[in-house]
Amino acid sequence: MIASYIQQVIFKALYFKRWGVETFYDELKNKLKVEHFSGYSNQSILQDFKATLFVSNVQALIVSELEDELKVSNKEKKYNYKINTNISYGLLKNRVVELFLEEKNHKTDMVETLKSMFKSHSVPLRPNRKHERNSGKYRSRIKPKITKDQKDSV
C-alpha cells in the first residue's frame, strides 16, 4: 500500500517535469509548423528546422526579458498576464531577417518595438477554470486538410 503511494508520487513528479518538454514540442509542431518544409532535399529540411528553432529562441529571449516587466504590471491587475506565443511568433516572423540585417541602433529600436507589441498582446491567466471534457466529440471528425493558402503563424 505504501509502496504504491510512493510510486504514484514519483510518477506524478516525473510527469510534471516532462510537461515543459511536451508543451515545447506542441509549440514547435502546431504553432511553428516544424513538420512543413519548403523543400524535399536534406539540406532544405535541415535549414527549415534550424530556422524554426532559431525563431523560437529569439522569441523566447524577448519574452524572457518581458517577464520581469509583466510581474510588476500584474500586481496592479486582477489576473496575471502572459505573452500570447502564437501572436508573438506571427509578429516576429516578418521581422526576424530585418532584425539581424539592420545596423545596431536600429536593432535596439526594433527589439523595443517588438517588446511593446508583445506586451500589447498579453493574455490573462484565469485560475480554476475547468470545462467538462467530451471525449467522444471529435471521434467522428476527420483530420482537416491544410490548404496551400492557409496562413501559418511563422
- Mean pLDDT, consecutive 10-residue stretches, the chain (154 aa), reads 83 85 87 86 92 91 88 80 88 85 80 89 82 70 64 59
The pLDDT of residue 122 is: 86
User: What is the reported pTM?
Assistant: 0.70
Q: Which residue in this structure is represented by grid cell 528546422?
A: 49
pLDDT for position 150: 59
pLDDT at 134: 73
Q: What is the pLDDT of residue 32?
A: 86
Residue 88: exposure state from Cβ atoms within 10 A (0-12, 13-18, ≥19): buried
- The per-residue pLDDT for 46 is 93
Residue 151: its pLDDT value, please? 62
Beta strands in the chain (DSSP E): 80-83, 122-125
